[in-house]
Amino acid sequence: MTEQDKQLQQLYQQRKSAVKTPTEIKQVALGQSKQSATVSPHSWPVFGRQMGMVTACVGLLALGLLVRHTITGYQEPEYVHANIEYHALSDEAVSVNTARRIDYENATQAFQESQLRIAIHHKKLAQIASIGDGWELKMCDNSALSISPMLLAELAANNALKIDIERGDFVQIAFSDAGRILAIEKQPTTRHC
């Protein structure tokens, strides 16, 4: 021991003699030391080693069963072959291009009919209140609709606006499902809301 260790040991003994440890703490410390002395220090590592061996055995057994099952249970998958024949119901032969063209024409006609139905159901009647910097329209439900000059120019460019409209004329406004104005047409006869 060095000089410092001896001095520290002496200071520790002086402190220990000056401050007495309570009896409850001594009893707990002695009880724990007696309990740890009765338990073998090597029991946990032995138990862990035994559990590891048991786990390894179970794993090997499961692996063996899996290998046995895959070897005995393997079968070639069955392939199903289907023959598809194309028969035309008409006497004349229909080429693939002709069938596609007919399908396209039918789809185009169905689309145009749906657009016409949408346009018919989404039209409102209005009267032009003022023409100047944009239009002011008075709707039949007493609401006002302002149309900007940019929208008027866009509608005119798309042939969706008749230019010969004057103040006081009645117009029919076609709306899309999203509420956008598709066209503005002048009504030939005077109507009332």
Q: How far apart are CA 59 and CA 48, in angstroms?
A: 16
Instruction: Quote the CA–CA distance of 104 and 114 in Å, as a whole number.
Output: 15
CB-CB contact of 175 with 181 (8 Å):
yes
SS3 80: coil
Q: What kind of fold does domain 115-186 have according to CATH? A: OB fold (Dihydrolipoamide Acetyltransferase, E2P) (2.40.50)
Residue 165: other Cβ atoms inside 10 A: 16
pLDDT of residue 62: 94
Measured CA to CA, the distance from residue 115 to residue 177 in angstroms comes to: 10
Q: Whole-prediction pTM value?
A: 0.37
Three-state DSSP at 83 gives coil
Q: What is the pLDDT of residue 104?
A: 93
Domain ranges, ordered by start, for the chain: 115-186
Mark out the alpha helices in 122-167 (DSSP H runs): 149-157
CA distance 148 to 139: 16
**Tens digit of pLDDT at every position of the chain (193 positions):** 788 889 989 988 888 888 887 888 878 888 877 766 555 556 667 778 888 999 999 999 999 988 887 777 666 667 777 777 666 565 555 677 888 899 999 999 988 887 766 666 678 888 888 877 888 888 877 888 888 888 888 888 877 777 677 788 888 888 777 777 878 888 877 666 6
Cα dihedral 180, 183, 186, 190 sign: negative
Distance between CA atoms of 130 and 39, rounded to whole angstroms? 103
Between CA 185 and CA 153 the distance in angstroms is 15
Which amino acid, residue 122?
H
Which amino acid, 72? T
CB atoms within 10 A of CB 182: 16
pLDDT score for 28: 84
Whose structure tokens read 């194309």? 86
Q: In whole angstroms, give the CA distance from residue 47 to residue 63.
A: 24
CA–CA dist 166, 53 (Å, integer): 99
